[in-house]
Amino acid sequence: MVGKHKDGIKQDKPFTSLEAEVFLNLMRTADLFARSGEAILKPVGLSLTQYNVLRILRGAGEQGLCCRELAERMITRDPDVTRLLDRLERRGLLARSRDSKDRRIITVRISAAGRRILKDLDTPVAKHHRKQLSHMGQGDLRRLAELLVAARET
């Protein structure tokens, strides 16, 4: 572990454990993927979190989701989901409505403009994912997906 790491980062000391090495590699990979994903979204004025919200809402269909369900499905926890939704609503990418029986429940739905922006991003994002991961092969990717799910089961 002493010397240069495969990705060019100088490693002065060996990792304290295999778990520490895996954790650091996961964090480096997540950061690399996030930064490259942000580059795709920047021209349309979306953050990764905003893109994630729109994808979740598209998947929810016409019925939409209440704010709590939306927050639970997000990749990263955002402490201020309301402000995040405010920004997307101002851009016309989603709409919120109060439940007529329980006014505390607010349902969020993706708008036609939100669906359009995602449709325009679908191909570039898919190409980007292939570019990032196609060198691994389908078997390795399936195993990696399984391992990542297993790692979250703590």
pLDDT digits (tens, 9 = 90+) for 1-54: 444 455 656 666 788 999 999 999 999 999 999 999 999 999 999 999 999 999
- The H-or-E segment that residue 93 falls in is none
**pTM of the shown model:** 0.84
Give the CA angle between residues 121, 138, 143 to the nearest 5°: 105
Regarding whether 34 and 99 lie in a shared domain, the answer is: no
Q: Is residue 114 part of a domain?
A: yes
CATH code for position 92: 1.10.10.10
Domain count within the chain = 2
Residues 75 and 31 in one domain: no
Whether 49 and 96 share a structural domain: yes
- Across-strand partners of 96? 108
- What are the pLDDT digits (tens) for 46-85? 999 999 999 999 999 999 999 889 999 998 887 789 899 9
How far is it, in rounded angstroms, from Cα 124 to Cα 120? 8
Domain of residue 61 covers 45-123
Residue 33: inside a domain, yes or no?
A: yes
Question: Rounded CA gap, 121 and 116, in Å?
Answer: 9
One domain for residues 91 and 114 = yes
